[in-house]
Chains A and B, each alone.
Chain A
Amino acid sequence: MSGRNLFTRPARLAAIAPYGWMVLFFLVPFGFVLKLSLSQVANAQPPYLPVFDLSAGWRALVAAASVLSLDNFRLLLSDDLYLAAGLRSLTVAATATALLLLLGYPVAYAMSRLPRRFQPLAMMLVIVPFWTSFLIRVYAWINILQHDGLLNQVLLALHVVSAPVVWLSTDTAMYIGMVYSYLPFMILPLYATLSKLDPSLCEAAADLGSSPLQSFWRVTLPLSLPGIGAGALLCFIPLVGEFVIPDLLAGSDAPMIGQTLWLEFFTNRDWPVAAATAVMLLAILLLPLVIYDRFQRRQMVRP
Chain B
Amino acid sequence: MEAVSDITSQAGTALPLLRIDGVGKRFGGFTAVDGVSLDIRPGEFFALLGPSGCGKTTLLRMLAGFETPDSGRILLNGEDVAGTPPHLRPVNMMFQNYALFPHLSVRDNIAFGLRRAGMRRAEINARVAELVALVRLEGLEKRRPEQLSGGQRQRVALARAVARRPRLLLLDEPLAALDKKLRDSTQRELKALQRTLGLTFIVVTHDQDEAMTLADRIGVMNAGQLVQVATPRQLYETPRSRWVAEFVGDINIIEGRITTREAGRLRLTTGGAGELAATLPPEFGDAAEVCVAVRPEKIRLSLRPPVDDPAGGAINRLEGTVRDVGYLGSASSYTVALDGGASLRVSLANAARLYADAYAVGQRVTAWFSPDDCIVLDR
A214 (CB) vs chain B CBs: closest residue: B116
* B103, CB-defined interface residue at 8 Å: yes
* B222, CB-defined interface residue at 8 Å: no
B96 (CB) vs chain A CBs: closest residue: A200
CA distance A207 to B66 in the complex (A): 9
Query: Could you say which of A205, A209, A219 has the most chain B C-beta atoms within 10 Å of its C-beta?
Result: A209
Please tell me which one of the listed residues A207, A302, A303 contacts residue B93 in the complex, with CB atoms under 8 A apart.
A207
Is A209 touching B116 in the complex (CB atoms < 8 A)?
Answer: yes
Is A223 touching B102 in the complex (CB atoms < 8 A)?
Answer: yes
Size of the chain A interface, CB-CB below 8 angstroms? 21
CA distance A205 to B117 in the complex (A): 12
* A208, CB-defined interface residue at 8 Å: yes
* A203, CB-defined interface residue at 8 Å: yes
Cβ proximity bits A156-173 to B, threshold 8 Å, 1 near / 0 not: 000000000000000000
CA distance A201 to B64 in the complex (A): 14
Set of chain A residues within 8 Å of B116, measured between Cβ atoms:
208-210, 214
* B353, CB-defined interface residue at 8 Å: no
* One of B42-50, B84-92, B120-128, B186-194 contacting the partner: B84-92
CA distance A136 to B145 in the complex (A): 49
Set of chain A residues within 8 Å of B274, measured between Cβ atoms:
none
Q: Given the known A-B contacts A200-B95, A203-B66, are A210 and B142 also in contact in the complex, defined by CB atoms under 8 Å?
A: no
Set of chain B residues within 8 Å of A31, measured between Cβ atoms:
none
* A53, CB-defined interface residue at 8 Å: no
CA distance A222 to B112 in the complex (A): 14
A222 (CB) vs chain B CBs: closest residue: B103
Is B103 touching A207 in the complex (CB atoms < 8 A)?
Answer: no
Q: Given the known A-B contacts A198-B99, A203-B99, A222-B103, are A208 and B144 also in contact in the complex, defined by CB atoms under 8 Å?
A: no
Please tell me which one of the listed residues B86, B100, B102 contacts residue A207 in the complex, with CB atoms under 8 A apart.
B86
Q: Given the known A-B contacts A208-B92, A209-B116, A210-B116, are A302 and B101 also in contact in the complex, defined by CB atoms under 8 Å?
A: no
- The smallest beta-carbon distance between B28 and chain A, in angstroms, is 13
CA distance A201 to B160 in the complex (A): 13
A299 (CB) vs chain B CBs: closest residue: B103
- The smallest beta-carbon distance between B216 and chain A, in angstroms, is 24
* A206, CB-defined interface residue at 8 Å: yes
CA distance A198 to B65 in the complex (A): 18
- Among residues 217 to 234 in chain A, which have CB atoms less than 8 Å away from a CB atom of chain B? 218-219, 222-223
CA distance A201 to B144 in the complex (A): 15
Is B95 touching A203 in the complex (CB atoms < 8 A)?
Answer: yes
A207 (CB) vs chain B CBs: closest residue: B93
Please tell me which one of the listed residues B66, B87, B144 contacts residue A209 in the complex, with CB atoms under 8 A apart.
B87
Set of chain A residues within 8 Å of B142, measured between Cβ atoms:
302-303
- Among residues 49 to 84 in chain B, which have CB atoms less than 8 Å away from a CB atom of chain A? 64-66
- The smallest beta-carbon distance between A151 and chain B, in angstroms, is 42
- The smallest beta-carbon distance between A248 and chain B, in angstroms, is 42
- The smallest beta-carbon distance between A225 and chain B, in angstroms, is 8
- The smallest beta-carbon distance between A117 and chain B, in angstroms, is 14
- Among residues 249 to 278 in chain B, which have CB atoms less than 8 Å away from a CB atom of chain A? none
Is B95 touching A204 in the complex (CB atoms < 8 A)?
Answer: yes
* A211, CB-defined interface residue at 8 Å: yes
Set of chain B residues within 8 Å of A214, measured between Cβ atoms:
116
CA distance A218 to B87 in the complex (A): 14
Set of chain A residues within 8 Å of B85, measured between Cβ atoms:
206
What are 22 of the A-B contact pairs (CB < 8 Å)?
A: A198-B97, A200-B99, A201-B102, A203-B64, A203-B66, A203-B95, A204-B100, A206-B87, A207-B91, A207-B93, A208-B92, A208-B112, A208-B113, A209-B117, A210-B87, A214-B116, A215-B87, A218-B112, A223-B103, A302-B142, A302-B144, A303-B142
Extra A-B contacts (17), CB below 8 Å, given A201-B99, A208-B113, A210-B87: A200-B95, A203-B64, A203-B99, A204-B101, A205-B101, A206-B66, A207-B86, A207-B91, A208-B92, A208-B116, A208-B164, A209-B87, A209-B113, A210-B116, A212-B87, A215-B87, A302-B105
The 8 A-B residue pairs with the shortest CB-CB distance in the complex, in nearest-first order: A208-B113, A209-B116, A204-B99, A206-B86, A200-B99, A206-B87, A222-B103, A207-B93
Chain B positions within 8 Å of A, measured between CB atoms, are: 64-66, 85-87, 91-93, 95, 97, 99-103, 105, 112-113, 116-117, 142, 144, 160, 164
